[in-house]
Structure 1
Amino acid sequence: MTTTRATPSRQPAGTPVGGQFAAQAKPAADVCLDGSDRPESSHEQVAGAAIERIMALEAASAPGVKAQTFAAARGMAAIARSQWPEAATIKTRECDQIGCTRQHAEEVLDADGNELGQMYELEDYEQDLIDMESGLSPVLGQDVFSASYSRHDGEHGAIDIDEALKPSHQEDTPADRAGETISGYRARFDDLDLDDRTVARDMLTDLHHWARSKGVDLDEVMASAREVADEEIRGQQ
């Protein structure tokens, strides 16, 4: 007798639903980011998750710049909100050291534009902020990150804390993520003059080799992926 199983839907990170396809929320940590033994707040958990995401992206051969920037903005927003509950905006400025194009987090403002403090004064979070600042892209403008992170010009930027902390907020669509994955694959493994369709074919060819080596039924995986994609498209209509 054949048993039909429902295809699990994809879930945003941090939304525990159960099953191997769903991201699992992490239990609260016993130690907070600054090393003390007090319970970690929800904002600090978000910041810690952002650092993990940035480190994972940097370890990739062709990290997603948009994903890094979103994770960095989200992590900084979480730290600022944990220190100043009324914080609304974090101002960033390009490093003034020769050869460094990193954006540094500076003043924190409330909704009325009043300064609440400086991010660099948070000594307990110094290394965390350094890790997050490495994720702020020095090349993309406000047309790309209009929701959570925007660049006013080549030197200054701003993080909208409310936008960055929205749990369901996604900077990239599934098609955007796929396009960035194709670009990364091309940059590392393929001829740089190949079109996206050919690169996608080469990626799938590698997946076939991987599936055979692991004993995975790739046809079943692809059918399941098509079902999930169709379900997501129907959800947008």
Structure 2
Amino acid sequence: MLLMDADETLKSYGIQLLNVSKDNFESCSANGLTEDQFVFPHHINRSEQMDSKWLKAGHQYFIALHDKDSQLCKLGLRLNVTLKTQDCQSSPLVPLCSGNGVCQTDQWERAYYCRCHHQYSGKFCEKCDACLNNPCKNNGVCLSNGSSDPHRRMCTCLCPPHFTGTNCSEVIGKENCKRMCTEGTCVQVSSTSFKCFCRAEFSGQADDWRRSPFRS
């Protein structure tokens, strides 16, 4: 909605508003004007609401006239209105950017768009991706259920060989090593394996502990 109003001096003087091209706006030319270019069929003498047909996306140019004389325009009484489309709602019934982002525009953009908060995506920030935090370790593959409800947002990690656990952070065999290495220390020797280092008085495999004959 755009309201137009003239101060007391202009109201008594009598002005009309004309929709023109960019060239006529820059030159304050009223040559070849037609009646259907007048924004209001009368002089502005009170606050007036501009009809929506004059407010289309893009640049709209208006100049003020008095009895078809463009002197007012040359004195600076003209208006350049830039309108942008709003692409931040899927319907008027939902909040801007689904409540999960900010509706904004840049200087040279032709529309308002959504900049989504972290973990949200989609044109209206309607999608939530729990995998954006990259919770899967060791090159695990994250699968998200894509729920927009933060209480139902879930992800599952598909672990590569040798790794397990909720986020693929556990090496397969670690727990077995700890459980069987009762007379020594379980040490990770590579990214995918563990080894039991026996105490000095013990030797043998993890499942066949025996005291060394050289120890009392």
TM-score, scaled to structure 2: 0.21
- The higher-RCO structure (CA 8 Å, 6+ apart) is 1
Which structure has the highest strand share of the two? Answer: 2
Structure possessing the higher radius of gyration over alpha carbons: 2
Higher helix content, 1 or 2: 1
TM-score norm. by structure 1 comes to 0.20
